[in-house]
Amino acid sequence: MASDEPAVKRVKLSEDEKPNSLFGMGNPLLDICAVVDKDFLDKYVKRSVSEFEELVKKFKVEYHAGGATQNSIKIAQWMIQEPHNVGTFFGCIGKDKFGEILKQKAEEAHIQARYYEQGEEPTGTCAACLTGTNRSLVANLAAANCYKKDKHLDLEENWELVEKANVYYIAGFFLTVSVESILKVAKHASENNKLFCLNLSAPFICQFFKDNLMKVLPYVDVLFGNETEASAFGKEQDWDTKDVKEIAKKAQALTKENTKRPRIVVFTQGSEDTVMATGFLSQLVQDKPVERCVEAAHYAGSVIIKQAGCTFPEKPDFN
């Protein structure tokens, strides 16, 4: 993060505004975690991304609500604890068994997941196959790629949940699915002086979806990424530097629609000055200063990295 980064203007939340005050939209996946043998890993994981039923039949599995943005909303809710349903999440799933499990797991995480359910594609899944100390992830986005603005986001009962929020968080992965949905939410945030956050998510987003990214960027109040994504972003902008802090400063200075809020850029750098968006959001939505958001991010990251998947203890030990 740039050292001369301006402080974020705090979001004021009254007690009755806290439910649904954090909104996320992205690619929902049902995480299926299991300890497997090497033969299974070689036979299925390396061959196909669709053998999830076989995984369920052969091994003892755990299910979790997953996907980059949904995980961020989950962890923010975990850090906040009470009230429940501070986080709202939109995304597309299938009308199937995995979809029903995903809805149940989202409810258990105390987030309000309002999914667009369609019958053409199955619910997206991510197999987390554990062998010893190694973990292999195999994702099948499936229905997650099928989100439709006109069939879900535009519906009055759904848009009302968007309007309730004060902080919005979307992973760059969703730029490949429905940029028109992102823009509608981003413009609403900008026009109402609310915080809109975007994560670069992966270098390929900066490289191959640059046009969609640059359409959304003027509305971004907080931009997240890691050093690899920052480097890819800087390269696509033709900036003659690989210095992460310098790229953060340049990204901060790009055109912005809502001039009432200076843009904040947060880039992780492995073990050096790491900031994670998940914990960061939990404090941001509670009207905490940036420094406190960073501390919460460090704590959340230190807990999650020790888990087999995006799981956590019943309550955080963060004061």
pLDDT of 274-312, one tens digit each?
Answer: 443 347 677 677 777 777 877 877 787 777 766 766 776
Is a pLDDT exceeding 90 seen at residue 10? no
Q: Letter for the amino acid at 97?
A: K
- HSE-CB of 289 using CA atoms within 13 angstroms: 4
Measure the CA–CA gap between 29 and 102, rounded to whole angstroms. Answer: 8
Cβ neighbourhood burial of 223 (10 Å; 0-12, 13-18, 19+): buried
CB 161 within 8 A of CB 114: yes
Sorting pLDDT into bands at 50, 70 and 90, what band is 64? very high
CA atoms within 13 A on the CB side of 132: 3
pLDDT at 275: 40
Query: Percent of the chain at pLDDT above 70?
Result: 87
Topology at the third CATH level for domain 22-28+67-121+142-305: UDP-N-acetylmuramoyl-L-alanine:D-glutamate ligase (3.40.1190)
Percent pLDDT > 90 in the chain is 61
The mean pLDDT of 63-78, rounded to a whole number, is: 95
pLDDT score at 14: 40
Average pLDDT estimate for 248-267: 91
Segment 151-173 shows an average pLDDT of 98
Q: Which helix (H) or strand (E) covers residue 63, if one does?
A: strand 61-66
Over residues 197-242, the pLDDT tens digits come to 999 999 999 999 999 999 999 999 999 999 999 999 999 999 999 9
Q: Tell me the domain boundaries of the chain.
A: 22-28+67-121+142-305
